[in-house]
Structure 1
Amino acid sequence: MSAETRGILYPARLPSFRRVPPPPHLDDLVRWFWIPEWDFAADHSSRQYLVAYPACHLVVEPAQVSLSGPTTRLSYRDLTGRGWAVGALLRPAAVPLFVDAPADLRDSERLIEAPELHRAVVQAMRVPEQDARHVEAVETFSEWLAARALPASGEGRLANAMADLIDSDPDVRTLPDAASRLHISPRTLQRLAIRYVGLTPVEMIRRRRLQEAAQRVRLEPTALLSQIATELGYTDHAHLTREFRERLGFTPTTYRRGV
């Protein structure tokens, strides 16, 4: 499964999009940086739909710096004119640097006062050659984060391990599954998730599973939906369809046709 487009429902509509790994010294704080760029005619726009990762994002744009919280539903953004963004998908250990209660940011965002970061990234994104400006933007973003971050705490690293496990292991389907793999109690796992992510572990599992389901529905056009449902831990085809309808607003069949 391609990590490059996982969570993006219509990747063919993307104008230009890149995910860049962080430098090694930020591995505890950033999962990756992401950089979209677009340049549309005045009468054209592109709506980008996302099943976002269960995480917070620190995002620099031409006009502002913002922190977006974890999402519980389909999100989208309309791209018009010419623009760009440079975002950092924050790992759980980095979240307390910016917000005490990430659950307060569910499905929302807030502006961040970071003029030095904004100025540096805007300057980097003026470099004419695309690869060079992306490298410079990530380097300046990384330097700003590193200058303000303390070493990740033991609890922060445990929260990172929790997120890594839930995101990468399809056999983790319940709260007890995750707690058992991490050798902690379900109550401790619940507390970690709320404190460092803003979602419950069950909500995090549902986001991963929905991302995987959408990816497979899109990339495997001949696969039976009942088979996809079973392999991803849904009770049956109806359960998968209900989850799509409740979280995304359409059924897997409708999505497959639309792609």
Structure 2
Amino acid sequence: MKPDRSSEAAGTRFDDVERAHLVDPADTPVSIGRWAPSPDLADLIRRFWVPVWSVPDDRATPQRVLQYPVCLLIVTADYARFYGVNTGLSEVTLAGEGWGVGTMFAPAAGALVTGGPVADWTDRFADLSDAIGDTGQSLTTRIRETMAPDPRDVARQHEATTIVETWMRGFGPVDEDGHLVNAIVEFVENDSSVTSVTQICERFHLTERSLQRLTRRRLGLTPKWLIQRRRLHEAAERLRESGVTLATIAAELGYADEPHLVRDFRTVTGMTPGRFSARFE
């Protein structure tokens, strides 16, 4: 498998990783390798990302992300953590020399890895060994031993993610509810016409109560949150483009009016759409 570097190439369309990543062109560039898992793990893992950075302390670079509705596993030289979904804005500041090996799970995987409702992990993270027991320490040790000699070596990066893949195969095959929640998230994220919970219920022949229970248990989130988060991802993508008015974006995303979009964007990101858009002028 080759890393997907499309998001790093100048002039290309922002892929779904960049929709979530609220980059600032003024920040120090960070090299990030991104690639898909082996085909047999597509129901459990969305992708891997491996950032490697060398950032002068006086140019510390904040990484701000509107997280997808999935859990994360991140191992660095300094810490190893399991993350539930951050319903707000996720932020980490990079400085000095460092690397990370990140796993973005598929929606179905969170409950399988934690062995319980993912709602218990919403807006929360923990040391990997606390989250998944002794296996967490073993994974951390093996990944660090693999990456330590040369974190920029792509072969070593892939070897590190292969360690995660071997471990994740123990959670397959995905159960029926897992397949259903994967499909629901894919539907909402890839269809901009989905603006109401009723549409999700109709598409998957679920009552609103059943849908609420499923997403709460498997994602730690509400169906309404899924729709709002997709809208914000799309808004961030559109705001990078020149010549597009905020009123146009609000209408395209199904907002009642421009102020509703401004309110949602500012509440979650801490900045107005205008301020975010100005970064790319």
Give TM class, smaller chain: over 0.9
Q: Report what 1:216 is aligned to.
A: 238
CA separation in 1, counterparts of 2:278 and 2:111?
A: 41
Q: Residues 8-64 of structure 1: CA distance to partner in whole angstroms, max 9, x if unpaired?
A: 111643411122101111111011111111112343311111111121111112233
Unaligned runs of 5+ in 2: 1-13, 130-135
CA distance in 1: counterparts of 2:254 and 2:153, whole angstroms = 41
Matched, 1:256 2:277: yes
Identify the match of residue 82 of structure 2 among 67, 73, 79.
Answer: 67
Give aligned-pair identity as a percent: 35
Equivalent residue number for residue 113 of structure 2? 98
Q: Match for residue 144 of structure 1?
A: 167
Q: Residues 11 and 157 from structure 1, CA distance in 2 versus in 1: closer, same or farther, beyond 3 angstroms? A: farther
Aligned with 1:115 (options 132, 137, 156): 137
Is 1:233 matched up with 2:254? yes
TM-score, structure 2 length as denominator?
A: 0.86
Given the superposition, is the C-alpha separation of residues 43 and 81 from structure 1 closer, same or farther in structure 2, using an over 3 Å criterion? same
Q: For 1:213 and 1:42, how far apart are their aligned partners in 2?
A: 32
Displacement of 1:66 after TM fit? 1.2
Give yes or no for contact 1:69–1:109 (8 Å, CA) kept in 2. yes
Q: Which residue pairs with 1:78 in the alignment? A: 93
Select which of 49, 55, 70 maps to 2:64: 49
Superposed, 1:182-221 pairs within 5 Å as 182-218=204-240, 220-221=241-242
1:93 CA drift (Å) = 1.8
Q: TM-score, normalised by structure 1?
A: 0.93
Gaps of 5+ in 1: none
User: 1:22 matched to which residue of 2?
Assistant: 37
Give yes or no for contact 2:24–2:279 (8 Å, CA) kept in 1: no
Superposed CA offset, 1:67-91 (max 9, x none): 1111221221111111111111111
What is the alpha-carbon distance in structure 2 between the residues aligned to residue 159 and residue 71 of structure 1?
A: 18
The counterpart of 2:175, out of the listed 153, 158, 173, is: 153
Superposed displacement of residue 155, structure 1: 1.2
Moved over 4 A (4+): none
How many residues align? The count is: 257
What CA RMSD, in Å, does the superposition of the two structures yield over aligned residues? 1.6
CA distance in 1, matches of 2:167, 2:107: 18
